Amino acid sequence: MAPTPVWRRTPRFGGAWRLGVAALLFAVAACSGAVSPDRGDARPGQAAIASPHPLATRAGQEVLEAGGNAFDAAVAVSAALAVVEPFGSGIGGGGFFLLHRAEDGHQVMVDARETAPGEATRDMYLDDDGQPIPRLSQDGALAAGIPGLPAALVHISERYGRLPLADVLAPAIRHAEDGFEAYERMILGLRFKEDLMRESDAVSAVFFPEGRMPEPGDLIRQTDLAQTLRTLARDGHDGFYRGPLAETLVEGVRAKGGIWSLEDFAEYRVIERAPDVIEYGDARIVAASLPSSGGVVLSIVLNILDGFDLDALSEPERHHLVIEAMRRGYRDRALYLGDPDFTDIPHARLTHPLYAAGLRAAIRRDRAMPSDLLPGIAAGDESPQTTHYSVIDADGNRVATTQTLNFWYGAGVMAPGTGVMLNNEMDDFSTKPGVPDGFDLVTAEANAIAPGKRMLSSMTPTFVESPRGVAILGTPGGSRIITMVLLGTLAFLDGRDADEIVAMRRYHHQYLPDRVSHERGAFSEEIATALEAKGHELAESGRDFGNLQLVMWEYNGNRVSAASDPRNESGDAQVY
């Protein structure tokens, strides 16, 4: 795999310079056959999909070939992943969909995050002494929020797609009905969660056929899930959120100690939100906004970095500054962020360049700042659950989606008769302010549990728009998602190609715990020594970070490329 790249900061051109550069690019484009976003007619002319599973990529392709656009393809890929990657996301989970419509440049984030059930209470995972009850927010029906993914599939299909929902869901229904072949990654997750999953007959019947752990190539059939998807295809939003299916889901969850209600289902809506837009050098980064923390954290980090001349620095110095910027971005995540519909979030302040300038001024070039010396919270690895895909169509419509059940196979339980695995997203709330969640992330009051509220997320589907072209990217990886997207963004702006960007070695700092976790080979010995000399604690992780899916449209030569993270044996990126 490629080592961590050294990137150059793209220059910040203002006013006349920017116009001059745009004119120059236009002139070069006109002579060289390159396209320019400034010419209204620019279109990639090719489509591309990068997803973590070939059946999902093919589902999208099938829909494109049937005359669908990127939004139809996205719905097909999402639904197929919910079937063939049942450990990572599902109809019982949620996600964020970042859309770009080419004809008018409309950009929107469809927030399909789960909500806390109406009977949820702030201290529901604490014992009488006020201490968190181990695993209660992660295992079993009480850990599940109200699903958002079905609502998003219907919403995106109806508002942005061209084809009927039933056509777009057809590949997923087929894979659920006919089965897909078990593979290493899904079996790994089953081993991890086996004890809990075997407690449920409905789960066992699907994932432990004939009562045994499946082997690669064994067929996993999900006939109940196929039926649930058919109901969604036929009856749309209400088919899932009202009527017999909702009743079966709610009854099943309550029988297992959960607190879902029919009112929660009737009230569930996706929310269309403006994405966060960050100006960095001559690039524009469009990223998931609250209740994903991705856009705000990226904004703080990039605004800090924008004030440094990274080009002029040595490699260790650059990494040092990136780590210090990550630290501060995650500190603010911990302190301030949560569902903006429930808490006043100082969004304008946190994303203001002058706020970042203040943070930048307090960064020492020679020393790491220990996290506990930053005003903040006094107080914590991930595996490849959750999932991401990226799509562009020949007209330039784009989708970046990250969707999840949270941990491996979510809460490990199913509502019997529905095939719907429950998420364990409630763990992303602050079960007790200052107590780390399953990703060792600490959050505060802003992310306390309340009925109907959406839990803070790190999922960061992102578009990077620069004179080079457009990158559509994202990854699973819990708390590390944002720093992986950051490193991928910087590498794209540095001119790296798609294969290099998905392969490069990654590192991460999240404020608490105060250490730089990294993949093997992320830093040379010399760089590691230099970083340690500045006071950074480096912790090599035994695991791979993430599963990045990237589609790129470069204006020079009007070239579309796609790459799937080599850390995942089943990734499938295609250009059509």
Cβ proximity of 94 and 423 under 8 Å: yes
Taking a C-beta distance cutoff of 8 angstroms, is the pair 149, 237 a contact? no
Residue from 136, 459, 471, 473 touching ligand DON (CB under 6 A): that is 459
Smallest gap, in angstroms, from Cβ of residue 457 to ligand DON?
3
Q: Which residues pair with 463 in a beta bridge?
A: 286, 472
d(CA 187, CA 182) in angstroms, rounded, equals 7
Site string for ligand DON, 324-363 (x = CB under 6 A): ----------------------------------------
> How many chain residues touch ligand DON (CB under 6 A)?
16
147 is an interface residue for ligand DON by CB under 6 A: no
- Tell me if 404 contacts ligand DON by CB under 6 A: yes
CB 111 within 8 A of CB 96: yes
**Would you count residue 52 as binding ligand DON (CB under 6 A)?**
no
| Alpha-carbon dihedral sign for residues 147, 397, 50, 60 | positive
CA pair distance 321, 306, nearest whole angstrom: 11
Q: 416 or 571, CB closer to ligand DON?
A: 571
- Considering beta carbons, is residue 396 or 478 the nearer one to ligand DON? 478
**Stretch (H or E) spanning 83:** helix 70-84
414-433 footprint of ligand DON as x/- string (CB under 6 A): -----------x--x-----
Which lies closer to ligand DON via its Cβ, residue 138 or residue 397? 138
Active site amino acids: 386
Q: How far is the CB of 385 from ligand DON (least distance, A)?
A: 4
Asked whether position 231 contacts ligand DON by CB under 6 A, the answer is: no
- Contacts for 509 with CB less than 8 Å, ≥ 6 apart: 323, 326, 327, 330, 483, 515, 516, 517
Give, for 549, the enclosing helix (H) or strand (E).
strand 549-554
Q: How far is the CB of 426 from ligand DON (least distance, A)?
A: 10
Q: Are strands 507-508 and 516-518 parallel, antiparallel or unpaired?
A: antiparallel
Question: Applying CB under 6 A, does 510 fall inside the site for ligand DON?
Answer: no
**Residue 260 CB, nearest distance to ligand DON (Å)?**
18
Does 385 bind ligand DON (CB under 6 A)? Our answer is yes
Q: Shortest gap between Cβ of 405 and ligand DON (angstroms)?
A: 8
Residue 447 contacts ligand DON per CB under 6 A: no
**CB of 428: closest distance to ligand DON in angstroms?**
5
DSSP string, 18-79: HHHHHHHHHHHHHHHT---TTSTT---SS-EEEESSHHHHHHHHHHHHTT--HHHHHHHHHH
The binding site for ligand DON (CB under 6 A) comprises: 382-386, 404, 406, 425, 428, 457-459, 476-478, 481
